[in-house]
Chain A
Amino acid sequence: MRTPDRPARARRGGPVRLARGTTSPHPLGTDASGQDLLSRVLYGARSSLLAPLALLALAALLGVTMGTVAAWRGGWVDTLLSRVTDVMYAFPGLLFVVLVIAVFGDGLTTSIIALGLAYAPTIARYTRSLALAERSKPYIDAYRVQGMSGTRICVRHLVPNLAGPIVGYLVVLFGEGLMSLATLSYLGFGAGSPSIDWGLMVQEGQDAVVQGALLPALVPGTAIAAVVVAFNIVGVRVSDRLGKGR
């Protein structure tokens, strides 16, 4: 990755007044350790953008499987799903994730898995409603008459036909996932200190804000907000198009 400066390169000089404003070698200034902010924000994009993808992949895998099985089998599987969802929904905001982190310790991997578990019921509920409608279509019966097994129909035909709206829904969830992960990093539960992550950068830059150095916290904060705004605007368009394309 090309950045104007090495992201983890500290400038020489005492800790005093290292957080400088904009200068020509540092277009966005430097943080409290004298590290170039633009480089760090660009570098931080890697984990800040890849981690929500991993979380959505996990949540989609679990959620789509649970939702499809609940719609296909009905009965106790369906009841179990709605009970699990009810209990998950009793935890407002990030509290379920916080519980998981309290037990299994902090870190980026734990955060991703916990958020994946927290998002899965929402995706499962959505998939279930789509799959119920799809299941009653005549082509499914046609495959059944041919003697195809339920698993094969689901994996080969039913789920691929739902891909459009599910992907559209995931794009909308991406912004939320990014915000949640950044919030966890900010609270000190997510990505740890040596790694470069936007949420963590805001936390590290926070102390300097009171002393008047605003950029170290505001630059990564703006990056988070800008990406989420972009995804929310694009996401709504994409999900509309994918939803209609069926």
Chain B
Amino acid sequence: MIRGLPRRIAGLFATLLAASFLIFAAVYAAPGDPAVLLSGSRQELTPEKLAAVRAEHHLDEPLVVQYGRWLWDGLQGDLGRSFQYRDHVADLIGARLPTTLELVGYATVFFVVLGVGSGVLAALRRGWVDSAVVGGTTLAASVPAFVAAIALVSLFGVRLGWFPVTGQGEGFAGRLHHLTLPAFALALSALAVISRVTRQAMAEAYASDHVEAARASGQPERQIVVQHVLRNALGPIVTMCGLVMAGMLAGTVVVETAFGLSGIGSLLVSAITTHDFPVTQAVLLLMVIGYVVVTTLVDLVHPLIDPRVSPGGQPRGRKPEGRTA
């Protein structure tokens, strides 16, 4: 655990530096003057305005100096001002972050409970239950989140009227009620991945010799499943849950847009549509940091759950299935 730690942390920072540089320097890859892109609106560009933009963003200095300034300010919470809202970017994100985190948290509860549950069920009850779970997860993995969102709204929102189709809700119960459909749409493909990983890990643990030995010694089946099969399958399951949860931050972009929720995912979409570059950069940076930090943490925790895995032995941040998540 401790041995691989400094190397892992160094790798984390190297990746974050490279990714943040990419996000920052992307402005310069664009055709034309970066000042035009950074000024947001493409109309009413006077030379004075362009000069003001150049001065504000220090565009005359070398790229690396500008990057260092942007990063340093960003680390201190100053992410610039939005062109669209005329607000501090940090305030915009701060106001919307709770909704996104609630959505991801709620979706995580969904996919962990249902994914692990269905995976365990499929591994324990071979036959038609297994086939149904495998078929269901194939379907769930193939439906894009926005199609799932619309189908859920159509069925449970419009036809049955069980859930509200717009708005954020008041109070804890109200918010939970409003976020149920979005969270489920977000969790659907993750659920499929977790269910498959659980089923596979359980099947492998079942086939091992010590399970046979425990069974031969006459332990009750229930105890074998909990103490021997599930305990040994836990490592891959927990790792995959962590990786999938980290990837969900990006999934909120689609789901928040589909349900009209005002979180940082829908903020990113509107920032791109309105050419609000400081907001775009800040949200992307935040999502990348969240993703990389969580995947690294998951890798560090893995040996604690499964002592057979040597620390630092696993490759970092393998991408979970489904980029569209």
Contacts and interface: CB of A to CB of B under 8 A. Distances in A.
B288 A95 contact: yes
B138 interface: yes
Nearest to B17: A87
Given A87-B22, A232-B138, A233-B138, A93 B147 contact: no
Contacts of B251: 93
Interface in B272-286: 272-273, 277, 280, 284
A176 B323 CA distance: 7
Contacts of B112: none
Given A91-B19, A187-B254, A214 B146 contact: no
B247 interface: yes
A225 B158 contact: no
A209 B291 contact: no
Interface string A213-241: 01001100110110011001100000000
B18 A87 contact: yes
B143 A98 contact: no
Contacts of B319: 89, 122
B23 interface: yes
Contacts of A217: 150, 154
Contacts of B258: 186, 206
Interface string B120-155: 000000000000000000110111111100110110
Given A87-B19, A94-B323, A228 B154 contact: no
A92 B19 CA distance: 11
B16 interface: yes
Interface residues of A, number: 47
A166 interface: no
Tell me which of B26, B316, B319 has the highest count of chain A C-beta atoms within 10 A of its own C-beta. B319
- The A contact surface, by secondary structure, is helix
B108 to A, nearest CB: 15
B176 interface: no
Chain B contact residues: helix, strand, loop or mixed: helix
B241 to A, nearest CB: 15
Measured as residues with beta carbon below 8 angstroms from the partner, the interface class of chain B is: 35 or more
A232 to B, nearest CB: 5
Nearest to B141: A232
A233 B158 CA distance: 32
Given A92-B249, A188-B273, A183 B144 contact: yes
B272 A102 contact: yes
Which of B19, B26, B257, B322 has the largest number of chain A CB atoms within 10 A?
A: B19
Interface in A146-187: 175-176, 179-180, 182-183, 186-187
Nearest to B37: A103
Contacts of B18: 83, 86-87, 90
Contact of A218 (B16, B30, B144, B154): B154
Given A90-B18, A94-B323, A183-B144, A210 B272 contact: no
Nearest to A230: B142
Given A90-B18, A90-B288, A186 B254 contact: yes
Contacts of B139: 225, 229
A99 B323 CA distance: 15
Interface in B93-109: none
B253 interface: yes
Nearest to B16: A90
Nearest to B272: A102
Nearest to A96: B22
Contact of A101 (B29, B272, B292, B325): B272
B257 to A, nearest CB: 6
B15 A87 contact: yes
A90 B165 CA distance: 33
Contacts of A188: 269, 273
A208 to B, nearest CB: 10
Contacts of B30: 103-104
B272 A189 contact: yes
A126 B258 CA distance: 34
A212 B165 CA distance: 12
Interface of A: 83, 86-87, 89-95, 98-104, 106, 118, 122, 175-176, 179-180, 182-183, 186-189, 199, 202, 206, 209-210, 212, 214, 217-218, 221-222, 224-225, 228-229, 232-233
Q: Which 10 A-B pairs have the closest CB atoms?
A: A93-B250, A221-B147, A92-B250, A228-B142, A90-B19, A229-B142, A92-B291, A92-B247, A214-B154, A179-B324
Interface of B: 15-16, 18-19, 22-23, 26-27, 29-31, 37, 138-139, 141-147, 150-151, 153-154, 157-159, 165-166, 246-247, 249-251, 253-254, 257-258, 268-269, 271-273, 277, 280, 284, 287-288, 291-292, 316-317, 319, 322-325
9 contacts: A90-B19, A93-B250, A103-B26, A179-B322, A186-B144, A188-B273, A214-B158, A221-B146, A228-B143
Given A202-B146, A229-B142, 20 more contacts: A86-B18, A87-B19, A87-B22, A92-B247, A93-B251, A93-B324, A102-B272, A102-B284, A103-B37, A118-B323, A176-B322, A180-B324, A182-B144, A186-B257, A187-B257, A188-B273, A209-B153, A210-B166, A218-B151, A218-B154
